[in-house]
Amino acid sequence: MTSRRVFLKGSALAMFGVGSIPAWLSRSVYAADADKRRKKIMVAIFQRGAVDGLNMVVPFGEQRYYDLRPSIAIPKPDGSANSAVDLDGFFGLHRSLAPLKPLYDAQHLAIVDAVGSPDPTRSHFDAQDYMESGTPGRKATSDGWLNRALVKGTGTVSPVRAISLGSNLPRTLRGRNDAVAMNNLNDFQVRDAKSSATFESMYDSSLDTVLHGTGKETFSAVKIMQSVQKQSYTPANGAKYPNGRFGQSLLQIARLVKADVGLEVAFADIGGWDTHVNEVGAQPTLGQLANNLSDFGQALAAFYQDLGDLMADVTVVTMSEFGRTARENGNRGTDHGHANAMFVMGGDVRGGKVYGDWPGLGEGQLYENRDLQLTTDFRDVLGEVVAKHLGNANLSAVFPGYENPKFRGLIG
């Protein structure tokens, strides 16, 4: 596994064959800064379906956790494969997330606990909507926070500055700035070049208000992707991405980061967390949640390893719409709850620490007598990354109605 890395700014450019990219695409075209500093990149990951935060980041130091979950709790760390991975003597990682432990130890991975959206809804769809728009409780917001987080460019901005992996553009990337959805980098083209040109001119001249804009964005992005498609890709440093859709999404993002095409924000999601029934298998460390977390953890670890020194410019943040009930339900599962946990990973992250105020799971400490209380607003975490990593200080525009996010000191 990786050990703590030394991040050398700029060294990555030499390592990854940037020379094969056309000169007009080189970063200087996009870099607003005179010193040609690389653009910072933020990757947002959504765990759709509400992951069970209490089994993902296990508060094994609190006995009450075991009282509330007699058949699904993750046992206290004892070094065995059936127990949690100790982080700080109180919290532990689910065993399936063991690949993330070295990142935590290298202080490039931070965890925020008891975090989430203050809106009380337990509807997946509303809660995802709020977390993607960045305006809990406000349905009329028509664009997403990740789109608004893009820094206003002074010069040329790249048509692929905002990318989502998948065949649909998520709510969080919709909005005024161009954003592109792609399933697979290699398929991102019209198969025959002549027809491509004709379609381009059709969509370009179309008066259709919806299709014109998207068409235009699409063809600008296609041109850039063509240069990336020409090069084959092998993950660096022996990184192995899992085969599932999520692992492949992160691989493509890594590929775009290395190709230096002007990427600023990227989005990927991973589903299957809605574990009402049989959340755990024969052992609490096996089963549905364990399998999904293993995919999740391996993919994040591979991304980190693959990017190597380039992680200096990249911050990854994970989120899920809400947590799950502190008590297990009657089907070895959990129902919709409230607060959850988020991971923040990157070169400028002050990792190796679980942030947030732990509200406890005791009588009277639970939200509505059933869920983990919220002590950190998710916008505090996202806001800090947007402001201090991406460099967009105008947070009142990114998270309207949330004027004073409280930074936790995650980045620095």
Partner 1 sequence: MKKRAFAAISIAAFLIALPGVSSTAKSKEADDAKRQAKLFQKKLNKDDQILHGLDRLTFGPRPGDVASVKKMGLKKWIDLQLHPEQIKESAELETKLRPLESLRMSPMETVQHYPPPQLIRAIAMGRQPMPEDPMLRASVERLIGRYKAKKGTDAGATKNGAAADANEEMEPAKRLDEVLDSTELQTMRSGTPEKKRELLTSLPADKLEEVLIAMPRGQRQQLVSFASTEIRRKVLLMNAPQQVVAYDLLESKLLRAIESKRQLAEELDDFWFNHFNVYYDKGSDRFLIPAYERDAIRPNVLGKFRDMLEATAKSPAMLFYLDNFQSVRPDMDAKNKNRKVKRGLNENYGRELMELHTLGVNGGYTQKDVTEVARCFTGWTLLEPRRGGGFFYNDNMHDKGEKVVLGHVIAAGGGQDDAEKVLDILATHPSTAHFISKKLAQRFVSDNPPDSLVEKMAKTFLSSNGDIREVMKAMLASKEFWSEGAYRAKVKTPFEMVASSVRALDANVSDAFALANQVGNLGEPLYRKQEPTGYSNMNSDWVNSAALLSRMNFALNLAQNRVPGVKVDVSRFGNDPIEVAKTLMFRSASPQTRAAIQKALEDQKQKTPATVAGLVIGSPDFQRR
- Angle subtended at Cα 19 by Cα 17 and Cα 24, rounded to the nearest 5 degrees: 135
Q: Please tell me the distance from the alpha carbon of residue 9 to that of residue 272, in angstroms, as a whole number.
A: 38
Nearer to partner 1 by Cβ, of 49 and 351: the residue is 49
Which of 180, 270, 302, 382 lies at the binding interface for partner 1 (CB under 8 A)?
180
The amino acid that residue 255 corresponds to is R
Which range, of 102-110, 193-201, 248-256, 314-322, touches partner 1 by CB under 8 A?
A: 193-201
- For partner 1, the closer of residues 338 and 408 by Cβ is 338
Residue of the chain from 169, 307, 317, 385 that contacts partner 1 (CB under 8 A): 169
170 or 351, CB closer to partner 1? Answer: 170
- Closest C-alpha among 361, 373, 349, 233 to residue 300: 349
Contact range with partner 1 by CB under 8 A, out of 81-89, 179-187, 250-258, 282-290: 179-187
Q: Which of 277, 362, 369, 409 binds partner 1 (CB under 8 A)?
A: 277
Smallest separation, CB 174 to partner 1 (Å): 7
We find the least distance from the C-beta atom of residue 195 to partner 1, in angstroms, to be: 6
Single-letter amino acid code for the residue at 205: S
Identify the residue among 202, 243, 362, 409 touching partner 1 (CB under 8 A): 202
- Residue 234 near residue 246, CB atoms below 8 Å: no
For 144, the 3-state DSSP assignment is coil
| Among the listed residues 362, 397, 406, 409, the single contact to partner 1 using CB under 8 A | 397
Pair 67, 192: CB distance under 8 Å: no
**Of 17 and 271, which has the nearer Cβ to partner 1?**
271
Rounded to a whole number of angstroms, the CA Rg of the chain reads 21
Distance CA 113, CA 354 (A): 7
* CB of 209 or CB of 234, closer to partner 1: 209
Instruction: Identify residue 187 by its one-letter amino acid code.
Output: D
Q: Which of residues 230-269 bind partner 1 (CB under 8 A)?
A: none
Q: Which is nearer to partner 1, 108 or 379 (CB)?
A: 379
Least gap, CB of 138 to partner 1 (angstroms): 8
Residue 115 pairs in a beta bridge with 340, 376
Report the C-alpha gap between 385 and 366 in whole angstroms. 29
367 phi/psi in degrees, rounded to 5: -75, 125
Do strands 353-355 and 92-93 pair parallel, antiparallel, or not at all (unpaired)? Answer: unpaired
Query: Which residue number, 276 or 350, has a Cβ lying nearer to partner 1?
Result: 276
Stretch that binds partner 1, among 17-25, 56-64, 134-142, 296-304 (CB under 8 A): 134-142
Contacts of partner 1 in 59-118 (CB under 8 A) = 70-71
- Taking CB under 8 A as the criterion, the residue among 52, 62, 86, 132 binding partner 1 is 132
Farthest CA pair distance, the chain:
68
Region of 61-69, 76-84, 111-119, 205-213 interacting with partner 1 (CB under 8 A): 205-213
Alpha carbons 89 and 310: distance in angstroms, whole number: 31
SS3 385: helix
By CB under 8 A, the residues from 325 to 344 that bind partner 1 are: 329-333, 335-336
Nearest partner of 402 among 173, 131, 174, 41, judged by Cα: 131
Taking each helix axis from N to C end, the angle separating 245-259 and 288-307, rounded to the nearest 10 degrees, works out to 10
412 binds partner 1 (CB under 8 A): no
- Of 121 and 158, nearer to partner 1 (C-beta) is 121
Number of residues that bind partner 1 (CB under 8 A): 81
Q: Which residue, 102 or 166, is less far from partner 1 as judged by CB?
A: 166
